Structure 1
Amino acid sequence: MAFIQCDFYSDVLGLSSSMYVILPQNAQSQIGMESRAAQKKHKTLFLLHGLSDDHTIWLRRTSIERYAAPLGLAVVMPAAGRSFYSNMASGGDYWTFVSEELPALARSFFPLSDRREDNFVAGLSMGGYGAFKLALNKPEQYAAAASLSGALDVSPFEERAPEDFKRIYGTAAVAEALPNNLFLAAQELKASCRPIPELYQYCGTEDFLYEDNLKFRRHAEQLGLPLTYTEGSGDHSWAYWDAYIQRVLEWLPLGD
C-alpha cells in the first residue's frame, strides 16, 4: 500500500485542510503484508473520524492499512474538526466539503473511481453519523455505508453537549431538518425512486449511544431499508472499532 498525507486548500472551507490516503499497490516482497491493486481506477472507502479525533486517528489506532491491502481498496480519511459533518452555524461548511468538494478533489489527485458501485463510506461515533448522513442524503454516490457506535440521533446531542450543539446546528429546527436528521433522511429516501445503499450498523451494548442506535435500527427496519445490524458487549472504545472495521471490510460489496 502507498500512504500519502495530502494538504490542500479548500475553497468551500476557505482554509487549508488535510487528508490521509491509502492507495493500493502491487507488491510481492512486503514482509507480513498481502497487497493487491487493480490496473484501473480504485474502489474507495471514505473513512470518517469521531468528534474528539482527526484524519490521523484511524491509522494511529487501527491497522487499517494492513486490513485494506489485500482488498485493493483505496481509503480516504479527511479532517473535519468537531463539525458533525455539517454546514456549521459558527464554523465551516463541512457538509458541502465532505459531500461535494472532497470526493472531487480526491479524484483529481488520485486514480479513484467515481462509479457509485465502487464507492463506500464508514465512520465511528460522529463519523458513523457522517457516513449514514452521506449515504442517505447522497445515495447516488455510495453503494454502501457503515456506522460504528454512531451518534445517529442528534436530538439528545443538544442536552449532552449544548455548546457544541449550538456551534454546529444553531437551533433544534436546523438539527431536525434535512440533511442533518437521519431519521427524516431515511424516510425521504425510502419514499423516493433513488437507489438505496446497503447499510451496516454496529454498537456495543454498554455504549452510551446504544439506545440511540436501537432507535435508528427500529426506524430503518420499519422502513424496510437494507440494514445489517450487529451488537455485542462493548463500550465506546477502539478495542471494538478496530475489530469491527475488519468486519465492515469483509461486508463491503467489493465484487472481484
Structure 2
Amino acid sequence: MAVINLEYYSEVLAMNRNVKIIYPEASKVENFTEKEIPVLYLLHGMTGNENSWLQRSGIERLIRHTNLAIVMPSTDLGFYVNTTYGMNYFDAIALELPKVIHNFFPNLSTKREKNFIAGLSMGGYGAFRLALGTDKFSYAASLSGVLTFNGLESRFDENAAYWQGIFGSIEQFKNSDNEILALAERKTEYCPKLYAWCGKQDALFAGNEFAAAELKKLNYDLTYETSDGIHEWYYWTKKIEQVLEWLPINYVKEERKI
C-alpha cells in the first residue's frame, strides 16, 4: 500500500490543488495490470483538509488488506458546491478530479458501480451532494452529515458573509440543487445506495432523523443507523469501518492481535 500526495493544477479552480491517495498493494489485486480497482472518495469536514482522514482515523491501516483505492480531496470551507463567490468546488471534485486521478492511475475504475463516496459532517453533506448531483457514484455514505438545514436557517443571517458566500440567501438555497432533499426528490435515475449515521447527542441528530425519514419516503435504498455519540473523531473512526463493510467490496479486516 502506498500513500501518495498528488499536486496538480485545477483548470476549474485556476490554482494548484493537493489530493491524497491510498493505493493498494499489487499483492491485494488479482491481475494487477488489468483489473479495475474500486475507488472511494473520502471527504473531510469543516476545519479539515485532504490530510484529515489520514491523520485522525487510521484509514490506511483499516484497508491495508483490501483491494480499494481511496481519494481524499479538499474543498477548503466550500461545502463541495459551486459557491456564489466563484469557486466551483463541485465541478472541480465531481467532474475534473476523477479525470485527473484516472490519468495518473489508469488502473482505477471509472465505472459507476466501482466508484463510491463518503464523508463526515460537511463531507457527509458533500458525499450526498456529489452522488445525487452526478451519475458517477453508486454508493454514498454520510457520518454526522449536514443533510438538511431545517432548523439551521438562522445561520444564513448570523454569519451571512460566509453562508451566503457558499449558498446565497436562504431563499436561493431552498429547492436548489444544493438542498439535499430537494435534489433527491428530483433525481430519477442513477440513484445511489445511501448510508447515514449520526450520534444521538450530536447537534445534527434531529436533522439526520428528518432527512432519513424523507429519503425513505422517496424510496431511496437508505441504511440509516444511530447510536450514542457526539460530533467527533472517536465515533467517525469506528463508523468508517462499518461503511467499508457496507460497500460492495471484499473488505478484509485487519486481524487484531492481543
- TM-score when normalising by structure 2: 0.90
SS at match of 1:86: coil
- Within the candidate set 100, 116, 137, 1:142 is matched to 137
Matched, 1:124 2:120: yes
Instruction: Answer yes or no: is the 8 Å Cα contact 2:66–2:250 preserved in 1.
Output: no
- TM-score when normalising by structure 1: 0.91
Aligned partners of 1:49 and 1:150: how far apart in 2? 11
Superposed CA deviations along residues 59-81 of structure 1, whole A, max 9, x for unmatched, are 00011111122221000000110
Q: Counterpart in 2 of 1:65?
A: 60
SS at match of 2:20: strand
Superposed CA deviations along residues 204-230 of structure 1, whole A, max 9, x for unmatched, are 000011111011001011111100001
Equivalent residue letter for 2:165: R
> For 1:39-118, what aligned pairs fall within 5 Å after superposition?
39=32, 40-110=35-105, 111-118=107-114
Superposed CA deviations along residues 131-165 of structure 1, whole A, max 9, x for unmatched, are 01111121x21110000000111355542343321
Q: Counterpart in 1 of 2:196?
A: 201
> For 1:173-252, what aligned pairs fall within 5 Å after superposition?
173-189=171-187, 192=188, 194-252=189-247
**Moved segments of 4+, more than 6 Å:** none
Figure out how many residues of one structure are paired with residues of the other and give that number: 244
Instruction: Answer yes or no: is the 8 Å Cα contact 2:150–2:207 preserved in 1.
Output: no
1:91 positional shift: 4.4
Equivalent residue letter for 2:57: T
SS at match of 1:174: helix
RMSD: 1.5
Instruction: Answer yes or no: is the 8 Å Cα contact 1:43–1:112 preserved in 2.
Output: yes
Distance 1:61 1:197, change over 3 A: same
Q: Counterpart in 2 of 1:32?
A: none
Gaps of at least 5 residues in structure 2 are 252-258
Distance 1:101 1:202, change over 3 A: same
Equivalent residue letter for 1:109: F
